[in-house]
Amino acid sequence: MPSPMSTEEAPQQSPRQGTDSLGVRQGLQAGTMRVVVIGAGVIGLSTALCIHERYHSVLPSLDVKIYADCFTPLTTTDVAAGLWQPYLSDPSNPQEVHWNQQTFDYLLSHIHSPKAARMGLAPVSGYNLFHEAVPDPFWKDIVLGFRKLTPRELDMFPNYSYGWFSTNLILEGRTYLQWLTERLTERGVKFFQRKVESFEEVDAPWVKHFILTHDPDSGIYKSPYIIPGIQALTLGGIFQLGNWSEANSIQDHNTIWEGCCRLEPTLKDARIVAECTGCRPVRPHIRLERERLRFGSANTEVIHNYGHGGYGLTIHWGCALEAAALFGKVLEERKLLTMPPSHL
Amino acid sequence: MTSEWSQTLFPLCPMCVYVLKEGFYNVINSRPRGSRICTPPLRTAVKRPMDAARVAVVGAGVMGLSTALCISKLAPRCSVTVIADKFSPDTMSDVAAGILIPHTYPDTPVHKQKQWFRETFDHLFAVANSAEAGEAGVHLVSGWQIFRSIPTEEAPFWADVVLGFRKMTEAELRKFPEHASGQAFTTLKCEGSAYLPWLQKRVKESGGLMVTRRIEDLWELHPSFDIVVNCSGLGSRQLAGDSEIFPVRGQVLKVQAPWVKHFIRDGSGLTYVYPGTFNVTLGGCRQKGDWNLTPDAEMSRDILSRCCALEPSLQGAWDIQEKVGLRPSRAGVRLQTELLARDGRRLPVVHHYGHGGGGFCMHWGTALEATRLLSECVQTLRTPASKSKL
């Protein structure tokens, strides 16, 4: 165990004693806890904020740093349209249902605040379209006003015969990351740069609803979708497992454009303002668990929180709460907590 | 558009010269200086088959233009000229948010209002789903109408015309802590600043003409025109001698708040948030008998405060512009034919005005009805037997 040091800011530790995901290193002094969060997308920043909000008052010397190879506007989160909606099928890990609900409730509680727009947050209603009847999704009672589409509404979409209408939320990745960055900076969290989805953004301010189409043969998000953001409209429909390329592809551009114009003919008047590609961090289910690593004689706790695929924004806060709870357990085991953490 | 006209159109005398220019008609006044000022008839050199009825539509708001379009498409062998002192963006229709949530007219039977609303909704729904939607300024919008108390009627007459009408859930109502109940539905928004120019374009494509001119008396249109369609709104106080039409002043703020994707309307109709293509309209007020077109600063503050109470994120709105419109209000929409007679002259007039705050909601339905009335007039004019009655 390293010897205790003064209360001044400790020098940066070498990577050998560094960490993975959320690194928790043995405190240098009773009550000191240094945390490094790796990744500055929505998962990294929200986990950092969640931990700091909950433990800073009980652990005043809590020191949280964020390490990432890229920051907003260059992260995968920045590429996301930001529609709150989980995948259609039940998650393989039932805890994910709970985390999704927690995230929606958390975001909904901010809707009535004047700062909602500055968070990139707004309610948005819209349509999920199918070629045939499908069972209701597990999240139907989480979103607001979930119902089936009426025949007149289905007339608007000649290629589809069944669908849902609901009021969801938009949480725009880029704006939310900026907001999280501001909150973390206010709290004294420092960011360090240490060293990866295809879609188009168009200017079409008359489109007020999201439209997601689903094709069971293709798979999730391989069918055209339209998601209104705060300033621009996102058109998408690309989900290519195993493709690491972040370069824009002409073929994908055409797939998206033709598919979305068929779905929403008014797009012919829209101006394309951006074209981006991102790599969703896909995994069969999210990895959210502790792992103890040994480097020589040092013990390092790692809390993993990755693999959120195409529903990171949708589930981020529930996962951040879980990661914070795991962090709390670490503190308890190391007898660093003198009082229970505040529950915000 | 109208700039080709406004500078060159003068009151006419028999000595006036007509010049044909690229499909538009300029009128040059060649009266000698010092001659008596008269109010001669307005003449147009319209190319038409011998028996085409010459129709003048007075007013270029949503009523005038939509009626002109219906006539040019549906009424057999008519030529249409729209005459108004103001065209978009200077009409009352340009101030209106254009949301399709009907008002009620006490003197009009409910089944009629429902029919007009349905016809208007169906027409705009087709536009909204077509490639023309962006240019026409018509789009779908979902949202909530909320009430501080539980309303007496379960559902309004138009509930099955809009899409997906239902009561709000408890979870949805939590967004509005001061309101006890509400209705959620999807309707249409039709923005005057885009819709009017789009209508004008389509009227012109059908051969219709636009003329900028202030008409002081409907007889100015005789004998150049066979039938007048009066869509002059509040102008009918003077043009039709109608004292039953009066202004209900409305003030709105048009703001930038692009994150607002839903409409919110307080059941009283006094406070509302209507997101559109280019801005969000915040309102409003209803001041009966008030003709003042100047925005009132205190009213603007009050509107912003009431709307922020419904949608707090509006505190972040920017580029706030104040607008005032006078709703051309009447107990019932006036849709009727009147045969004006003076000194042996006859002039049939189809009146089509008085929609108050419900103009956009009803415009297509009432325009269709005005067109039917006009077609009857045309029929009457063409029937030799009844010519003697005129």
User: What's the pLDDT tens digit per position in B288-320?
Assistant: 999 999 999 999 999 999 999 999 999 999 999
- Average confidence (pLDDT) over B43-61: 76
Query: Which is higher by pLDDT, B111 or A256?
Result: B111
Residue A7 lies in a domain: no
* pLDDT higher than 50, residue B17: no
Amino acid at B318: W
| Chain A residues whose beta carbon lies within 8 Å of the beta carbon of residue B169 | 144-145
CA atoms within 13 A on the CB side of A69: 3
Domain residues for A114? 33-334
What CATH code would you report for B137-191+246-329?
A: 3.30.9.10
Residue A21 lies in a domain: no
User: What's the pLDDT tens digit per position in A229-243?
Assistant: 988 899 987 777 666
| Chain A residues whose beta carbon lies within 8 Å of the beta carbon of residue B198 | none
Q: Does A59 touch chain B (CB under 8 A)?
A: no
Residue A270 lies in a domain: yes
* pLDDT higher than 80, residue B111: yes
What CATH code would you report for B3-93+194-244+331-387?
A: 3.40.50.720
CB spacing of B261 vs A228 below 8 angstroms: yes
For chain A, what is the radius of gyration of the CA atoms?
Answer: 22
A328 in a known ligand binding site = no
| Chain A residues whose beta carbon lies within 8 Å of the beta carbon of residue B194 | none
Neighbours of B309 (CB within 10 A): 14
Cα–Cα distance, A98 to A67 (Å, whole number):
28
Among candidates B139, B169, B278 on the partner chain, residue whose Cβ is nearest the Cβ of A145: B169
Cβ atoms of residues A123 and A112 within 8 Å = no
Burial class (CB in 10 A: 0-12, 13-18, 19+), B170: exposed
- Average confidence (pLDDT) over A105-113: 92
Average pLDDT taken over every residue of chain B: 87
CB spacing of A266 vs B308 below 8 angstroms: no
Between residues 111 and 150 of chain B, which touch chain A (CB distance below 8 Å)? Answer: 128-131, 133-135, 137, 139-142
Cβ atoms of residues B98 and B192 within 8 Å = yes
ipTM over 0.90: no
Percent of chain B with pLDDT strictly greater than 70: 85
Helix (H) or strand (E) holding A50: helix A42-55
* pLDDT higher than 70, residue A302: yes
Cα–Cα distance, A127 to A213 (Å, whole number):
8
CB spacing of A165 vs B129 below 8 angstroms: no
Longest dimension (CA), chain B: 76
* pLDDT higher than 50, residue A328: yes
Query: Which is higher by pLDDT, B8 or A35?
Result: A35
Question: A40 is written with which tokens?
Answer: 């500055």
Output the pLDDT for position A41.
Answer: 94
Residue A225 lies in a domain: yes
Residue B314: closest CA among chain A residues belongs to which residue? A114
Among candidates B128, B169, B261 on the partner chain, residue whose Cβ is nearest the Cβ of A122: B261
Among A208-217, B16-25, B240-249, top mean pLDDT goes to: B240-249
CB spacing of A208 vs B257 below 8 angstroms: no
Cα–Cα distance, A73 to A338 (Å, whole number):
39
User: What's the pLDDT tens digit per position in B311-359?
Assistant: 999 999 999 999 999 999 999 999 999 999 999 999 999 999 999 999 9
Residue A310 lies in a domain: yes
* pLDDT higher than 80, residue A265: yes
- Average confidence (pLDDT) over B107-119: 94
CB spacing of B139 vs A208 below 8 angstroms: yes
CATH code of the domain containing A201: 3.40.50.720
A310 in a known ligand binding site = yes
Question: A154 is written with which tokens?
Answer: 């289905």
Output the pLDDT for position A14.
Answer: 36
User: What's the pLDDT tens digit per position in A70-95?
Assistant: 898 888 898 888 999 999 989 889 99
Considering only CA atoms, which of A171, A151, A173 is closest in space to residue A161?
A151
User: What's the pLDDT tens digit per position in B203-242?
Assistant: 999 999 999 999 999 999 999 999 999 999 999 999 999 9
Q: For chain B, give every domain's residue range.
A: 3-93+194-244+331-387, 137-191+246-329
User: What's the pLDDT tens digit per position in A175-227?
Assistant: 999 999 999 999 999 998 764 335 677 888 899 999 999 988 877 778 899 99
Rounded to a whole number, what is the distance in Å from the CA of A243 to chain B's nearest CA? Answer: 33
User: What is the number of domains present in chain A?
Assistant: 1
Cα–Cα distance, A108 to B48 (Å, whole number):
63
Among A63-72, A116-125, B125-134, top mean pLDDT goes to: A116-125
Considering only CA atoms, which of B273, B333, B275 is closest in space to residue B304?
B273
